[in-house]
Structure 1
Amino acid sequence: MEITYITDPIFYMAAVPAMLIVGISKGGFAGTLGMLGVPIITLVISPIQAAAIILPILCTMDILGLIAYRRKADWVNLSCMVPGAIVGIFLGAVFFKYLNDDFIRILVGVIALLFTLNHWLKIKIAKGEVGPSFLKGSFWGSLSGFTSFIAHAGGPPLQFYMLPQKINKTLFVGTSVWFFFIINYVKLIPYAYLGQFSTENLGTSLLLAPLAPIGIWLGVKLHKLVPEELFYKLAYVLLFITGLKLLWDGRAGLIQFF
């Protein structure tokens, strides 16, 4: 089997910085903006192909993250979220073939805009300090699994569930690392079943794979050098602009859907 890869230089102008941003976010800034990868790459290729190319790279990053956080996780919260996430992944796989590129662009764009607006407007998700809940964990976990399957955008639902609990920062990051390690590797099965791992997609993933350790290494270094507030200000602006662009590009699909 001959391995091929995308040769368009415009693709790599988007893919290389996107993957570095994802790695930097995972390595030094709690992975909050890991969802930024798909929207950026979706500007130049199909969102379905973008998701397939990114998944193996995310799996590589997850292993690197797990090395640092293998013993740091809230296992009670994981037990509340993971079953629902697997259900969400299954639903994503079932409905995946019914979603065209434009609809997925709109979905990713809406998630990006809601995520940034929630951050900028400081919307309070819950009052007071709450604890783990299987019901809430299943709901947000299933939503995280679904959006993660469609566009690797499972971060916001997980944060909506976890942040109100105000757990230790390191434990929060470790729980997130374990959660996405599990669901990303589960996603490999339906992605393969749906034929997402073509020789071109796998070849392109392999070509971009070295960016995983580089991005995480940069994240660790920049965590000490770059103010976290500045990094997030720039990243959220970029995410918001990207979300607007995706909504504009997918407007034809929205009209057709309704």
Structure 2
Amino acid sequence: MIEFGWQFFLVGIPAIIFGGISKGGFGSGAAFVAGAILALVVPPGAALGIVLPLFMLVDAATLKPYWGKWHWPSAKGLMIGAVPGCIVAAFLYAIVDADVFRLLIGLICLAFVAFQVSRALGWLQVRQMPFSAPVAWFAGTVSGFTSFVSHAGGPPSAVFLLSQGLSKTAYQATTVVVFWAINWMKAVPYVFLGIFTWDTIMGSLMLAPFALLGAWIGVRAHHLVPERPFFALTYILLVLTGIRLIWVALT
């Protein structure tokens, strides 16, 4: 049973708006902050169930502005690889305790921030490389797995797409179509695993307008807003959320 009290809305509304902005305009890499933050006030499985329909709604709202602008070989490779990733994650989800997923989500939050900060400071460089289908499949498998368990498929796919030297818009469009497909892959297993419940459906419905608001802001901010301040705030949120989830999981 999910408590839809003031804490749910205080945390859920800004988290979903932030996730929508990230998916709509900034490459989806940090969109999983929405689910991670929501997992602070509801069980991890419930957070997954609430966020997936909202992300699918954002996908539907943002496909048209980026239609046909993606890099199709990269998109296709990531989608093919995501299939086994989602299958493995579904089997593990059925047998693993919720605290393990809190710990995993928390570690993903911190690892993503560490990777991005290291790249920004020049400590780690993602070299441009020619397209390779096997590499795309591998990145897709990791993305499918992390997306299934925490809606955090963005970071693994981002590493691969950054190596392709895509333009900002091609990069964004590719993430939109890839995660539109991956989110549909996750929907059926979520039903059979009991992740979707009447409570999660109610939570999704109540937060849906804010997801659309985030998507609308993201699409418009894609060409207008500098990425640096947006991601700086995102990284702060991810670090705080990651530490909190790890603490809860271990204690």
TM-score bin (small chain)? over 0.9
> Any conservation in 2 of the 1:78–1:175 contact (CA below 8 Å)?
yes
1:114-125 matches, cutoff 5 A? 114-122=111-119, 123-124=123-124
> Residue by residue, what CA displacement relative to the aligned partner does 1:158-203 show, whole Å, maximum 9, x if unpaired?
0111111111221111111000000101111100111221111111
In the alignment, structure 1 residue 73 sits paired with structure 2 residue 55: no
Equivalent residue, structure 2, for 1:195: 194
The alignment-based identity, stated in percent, is 35
Do structure 1's residue 153 and structure 2's residue 158 form an aligned pair? no
Aligned-partner Cα distance in 1 for 2:99–2:2: 24
What secondary structure is seen at the aligned counterpart in 2 of 1:111? helix
> Where does 1:64-143 land on structure 2 (aligned, <5 Å)?
64-122=61-119, 123-124=123-124, 126-127=126-127, 129-143=128-142
TM-score after normalising by structure 2: 0.93
* Equivalent residue for 1:33, pick from 27, 30, 34: 30
Contact 1:116 1:239 (C-alpha < 8 Å) held by counterparts: yes
Bigger mean CA offset, 64-73 vs 218-227: 218-227
Q: Which residue of 2 aligns with 1:256?
A: none
Measured in 2, the distance between the counterparts of 1:20 and 1:70 equals 22
Q: 1: distance between equivalents of 2:24 and 2:249?
A: 32
Residue equivalent to 2:44: 47
Which has the larger displacement, 8-17 or 54-63? 8-17
What stretches of structure 2 of length at least 5 have no aligned partner?
none
Matched, 1:20 2:17: yes
Structure 1 82/15 Cα, relative in aligned 2: closer, same or farther at 3 Å?
A: same
Listed one character per residue, the Cα deviations across residues 78-110 of structure 1 (whole Å, up to 9, x for unaligned) are 222211101100111111012211110110011
Aligned equivalents of 2:142, 2:232: Cα separation in 1: 26
1:217 correspondence with 2:216: yes
Alignment CA distance shift 1:143-1:224 (3 Å): closer
Q: Secondary structure at the match of 1:197?
A: coil
* Secondary structure of the corresponding residue to residue 250 of structure 1: helix
Aligned residue pairs, count:
248
The 3-state SS of whatever aligns with 1:170 is: helix
Corresponding letter in the other structure for 1:101: A
Structure 1 residue 150 displacement after superposition: 0.5
Report the more deviating stretch, 151-160 or 209-218.
Answer: 209-218
CA contact (8 A) 1:125 1:160 kept: no
Residues 79/25 of structure 1: CA separation in 2 closer, same or farther (3 Å cut): closer
Unpaired segments ≥5 residues, structure 1: 253-258
Distance 1:18 1:93 in 2: 25
CA distance in 1, matches of 2:125, 2:226: 26
Q: Deviations over 1:189-241 (max 9, x none)?
A: 10011122111111111111111221122334555665421121121111111
Measured in 1, the distance between the counterparts of 2:126 and 2:2 equals 46
